[in-house]
Amino acid sequence: MSSKKIYLIRHGQTDFNLQGIVQGSGVDSSLNDKGRRQAAAFYDMYRDVKFDKIYTSRLKRTTETVRQFVEDGIPCEPMAGLNEISWGTKEGQKITPEEDSYYQWMLDQWRLGKTEERIEGGESPKDVERRQKPVIDYLLSKKDEQTILVCMHGRAMRILLCQLLHYSLKCMDMFEHENLCLYILNYTGTMFSLEKYCDVRHLEEVNRVAFSISPLALGLSLLAFRS
């Protein structure tokens, strides 16, 4: 197989991210004003990269994040396999301190290697891993696409990185994320290596702008779940 460079980003901020509301794959929210500024800042820094193709999930917050690149004529293919993990009955709900304890328990199970565990009505990390594998095979089969941009979601991104870099799923929380962070991976034809880890330098100007954030978002561990 030929070499490949993958620019892997998480979508920009949504109002649900800001309000501490679980999105998952069942809440199809749009970017808020800050999210659009984040997307514009990423575009400004990386607009000269010669992307052969863009891949997104089928959720609006990813397609909106890469819109300016698509308007430049770069082909884009949404894939359901890149959707965020489903949080089942918790999607669309605000995190309370009591529910946060439940989420922490679930994270602990995953860190112990119990990655078949799932929230009621939702997916497990293993479920997500299984639906991502055909996507990975598809991306690697496209030999003419040497530089690609992939836009997806926090938890699903962690699972994808584990697969590409051959880590156990119980280690997925080692891959930090925030809105519009960037990972760059290089593929030699046999293995992936990591060039950039959760890079947000393109957001420096956006982050200088004064913003407010709810005490809940500061105080809870929801950063591990926002999608």
Is-contact 226 176, C-beta < 8 A? no
- Residue 44 token pair: 């400004």
| Three-class SS state of 212 | coil
Q: State how far the Cα of 85 lies from the Cα of 148, in Å rounded to an integer.
A: 22
> How much is the pLDDT for 217?
45
Is-contact 100 222, C-beta < 8 A? yes
| Three-class SS state of 150 | strand
How many folded domains does the chain comprise? 1
pLDDT in tens, 103-114: 889 999 999 999
pLDDT in tens, 77-92: 999 999 999 999 989 8
* Confidence grade of residue 223 (pLDDT, cut at 50, 70, 90): very low
Residue 220 has pLDDT above 50, yes or no: no
Is-contact 25 181, C-beta < 8 A? no
Is-contact 138 104, C-beta < 8 A? no
> How much is the pLDDT for 215?
47
Q: Give residue 159's domain range.
A: 4-224
CATH number at residue 132: 3.40.50.1240
